[in-house]
Amino acid sequence: MSKESNSGIPSDNEVILGILNNSESVLKRLYLAYFPMVLQLIINNNGNTDDAKDIYQEAIIILYNKVKTGNFELSSKLKTYIYSICRRLWLKRLSQMNKYGGDIKDFQEYLAVDDETEKNNERDLQFNKMGNALQLLGEPCKTIIEDFYINNRSMQEICENFGYTNADNAKTQKYKCLQRLKKLFFQQK
Amino acid sequence: MSDNQLLEVIEHYINGEMSNDERARFEILRNENPDVNNLVNEHKHFTGLIKQYGERLELEKRLDAIHDEIDVYTLKEELMIHPSWIVQLWRTHHSKISVAASIAIFAVLCTMFFTGYLNNREINYVKLRGEVTQLKRKTDLLNNKFNNLNSPVKKNNNPGKFRGTGFAISSNGYIVTDYHVINNADSVYVQSADGKSYRTKVIYSEPQTDIAILEINDPSFKGLGAIPYDFKKSESDIGENVFTIGYPRDVMVLGPGFLTASSGFNGDTTQYQVSTPVDFGNSGGPLLDSKGNIIGIINARETHMVGAAFAVKSNYLLKTIQDIPADSLKETLSLNNKNVLAGLSRVQQIKKLQNYVFMVRVYNQ
């Protein structure tokens, strides 16, 4: 990779490859490249900088998930795509806050991207549910589950961290924790 | 195999930690037992969700870290479109401003409505029949009802609902007053200056000019004697010295003044405007000129102007008298055309007049 491509606006292909490879630097460059555009959209349409951050990050996560699931086909410039998603999300947010006056000031061209934000809603819901369930689960279960399933730690390590006398105890504990988490997760509406 | 152990096996299987041998055996178990199969799928799905959650959290953390490096404030200053302050003010407060404006308009309209600004005829112009103390009447009525609970004898001490003035047009008991005074009346009484009260009957009325003719049909009535005034046929001129007498209170009240316009409210040519002080109860009173000729009948005043009263012109009275159908008259109605007041002072005129001016009491339910 040339030195030049490590700074400035990354090309669309670079971004997609970068996301697939979990590249930190590409993500950073992507983020820096388009944030001003979104900030401009939102602060000039009744929003503040925190709204811009929220909306932009949501859009990046949508893009990220879409690329990761492997069915991402870019039908326009990435810039237009991100702008369209942010625009759509912001319109939704405005009407939720009853601030939508019927017109929005645009700074870029955009596409219709309804169903993608809808799909993301589903994911958001599950994300929030899981977050709540983990909060309700409490310690030490939360950490055990996180360590094992998210951080991919081995049972041996977990056993040492929590001072269990043998791995079987830890496993029983983990099993109980998982059952409770499932219950908490599915109980939520 | 306990659930706990089963789950461990499933995890081994999903994570690919089994030897080929174990794996083959487990797959056979999975095919044979749908419960196990379900368990495997469920577990896969749920751990997937946990992983997703973790990844998302991780991603958000990374994005936040990147975001913190951006100087949002300067960027914002650069990108913000700065409209003029008045546009900004409107944009941030337009809903509040709109609400405030609507309330203001509503309040103004309400005020205008309740102060009568919007319908000037009805409120600026009041007909002068006196409404006798409603409250007293209601209390009396209540007392009556209360008393009637014990005694079945019904007592009627109704003082009359409305009051006006009227004056004689012939010595045999024909009296003229305003139509609006006797409108909707059940019974009409007249009371002379010396306190005698007579029952009367409305024999003719003309709502257009607001004139009504009453006839005294009370057995105690003995006739009035010669009428001292006569009725002017021609119109009187502006500036003429005029006066009226009437019963705005329980005693006769004189209202001196001038004739100030040859038409009435809103250019009504059947009326004069005069500057005499009048009040509720003056309606139907005679308007006389200095020589003692009847030139009109007091009927209304303007509320927004002090001293603007209106009187129906006497030639309309004469016309009304002519229009009375002959069969309504029990006795001949012969108008007096001899004026004996002409040379007298005001005091003498009124002394002669007072017996011919009546308080009109109107009763209705």
Q: What percentage of chain B carries pLDDT values higher than 90?
A: 10
The range of the structural domain enclosing residue B331 comes to: 129-365
Query: Per the domain annotation, does B37 fall within a domain?
Result: yes
Identify which of B7, B59, B67 has the shortest CB distance to residue A61.
Answer: B59
pLDDT of residue A7: 60
For the cut 70, the answer to whether the pLDDT of residue B144 exceeds it is yes
Query: Per the domain annotation, does B284 fall within a domain?
Result: yes
Query: Per the domain annotation, does A101 fall within a domain?
Result: yes
Q: Which residue has the higher pLDDT, B179 or B250?
A: B179
Residues belonging to chain B: 365
- Rounded-to-integer distance, Cα B12 and Cα B156, Å: 108
Cβ(B214)–Cβ(B202) below 8 Å = yes
Element (H, E) at A26: helix A24-43
User: A93 and A32 in one domain?
Assistant: yes
Query: Per the domain annotation, does A120 fall within a domain?
Result: no
The whole-angstrom distance between residue B196's C-alpha and the CA centroid of its chain comes to: 39
For the cut 80, the answer to whether the pLDDT of residue B84 exceeds it is no
Task: List CB contacts (< 8 A) between B60 and chain A.
Answer: 57, 61
User: B247 and B170 in one domain?
Assistant: yes
Query: Per the domain annotation, does B185 fall within a domain?
Result: yes
User: B102 and B146 in one domain?
Assistant: no
pLDDT of residue B158: 52
Which of A37, A38, A39 to mutate against chain B (most B CBs within 10 Å)?
A: A39
Query: Per the domain annotation, does B74 fall within a domain?
Result: no
- Rounded-to-integer distance, Cα B14 and Cα A81, Å: 36
The range of the structural domain enclosing residue A94 comes to: 4-112
The whole-angstrom distance between residue B97's C-alpha and the CA centroid of its chain comes to: 30
Identify which of B52, B63, B72 has the shortest CB distance to residue A60.
Answer: B63
A83 to chain B nearest CA, in Å? 15
- Rounded-to-integer distance, Cα B53 and Cα B38, Å: 23
Query: Per the domain annotation, does A169 fall within a domain?
Result: yes
User: A101 and A157 in one domain?
Assistant: no
Query: For chain A, how are helix, strand and coil distributed in percent, rounded to 5?
Result: 70, 0, 30
Q: Which residue has the higher pLDDT, B7 or A81?
A: A81
User: B39 and B102 in one domain?
Assistant: no
B98 to chain A nearest CA, in Å? 14
pLDDT of residue B61: 87
pLDDT confidence tier of residue B156, bands split at 50, 70 and 90 = very low
- Reported pTM: 0.46
The least confident of A89-98, B119-128, B150-159, B193-202 is B150-159
User: B144 and B109 in one domain?
Assistant: no
User: A137 and A97 in one domain?
Assistant: no
User: A89 and A15 in one domain?
Assistant: yes
User: A153 and A102 in one domain?
Assistant: no
pLDDT of residue B110: 92
* Collapsed DSSP state (helix, strand, coil) of residue B162: strand
Each residue's pLDDT expressed in tens, for chain A with a length of 189 residues: 333 445 677 888 888 888 888 888 888 888 888 888 888 888 888 888 888 888 898 888 888 888 887 777 777 888 888 888 888 888 888 888 876 666 777 777 777 776 677 777 778 888 888 888 888 888 888 888 888 888 877 777 877 777 777 777 778 888 888 888 888 888 876
Domain count for chain A: 2
Domain count for chain B: 3
The residue among A112, A138, A173 that closes a domain is A112
Q: Which residue has the higher pLDDT, B207 or B73?
A: B207
Element (H, E) at A177: helix A167-187
Q: What percentage of chain B carries pLDDT values higher than 70?
A: 90
User: B138 and B105 in one domain?
Assistant: no
For the cut 90, the answer to whether the pLDDT of residue B186 exceeds it is no
Q: Which residue has the higher pLDDT, B351 or A75?
A: B351
Element (H, E) at B272: strand B271-274
Identify which of B56, B67, B79 has the shortest CB distance to residue A61.
Answer: B56
For the cut 90, the answer to whether the pLDDT of residue B352 exceeds it is no
For the cut 90, the answer to whether the pLDDT of residue B106 exceeds it is yes
User: B135 and B224 in one domain?
Assistant: yes
Query: Per the domain annotation, does A40 fall within a domain?
Result: yes
pLDDT tens across B225-280, in order? 888 888 888 888 889 899 999 888 888 888 888 998 888 887 888 889 998 888 88
Query: Per the domain annotation, does A171 fall within a domain?
Result: yes
| Count of Cβ atoms closer than 10 Å to residue A177 Cβ | 19
pLDDT tens across B30-57, in order? 888 888 888 888 888 888 888 888 888 8
User: A180 and A107 in one domain?
Assistant: no
pLDDT tens across B311-348, in order? 999 888 888 888 888 888 877 777 777 888 888 888 88
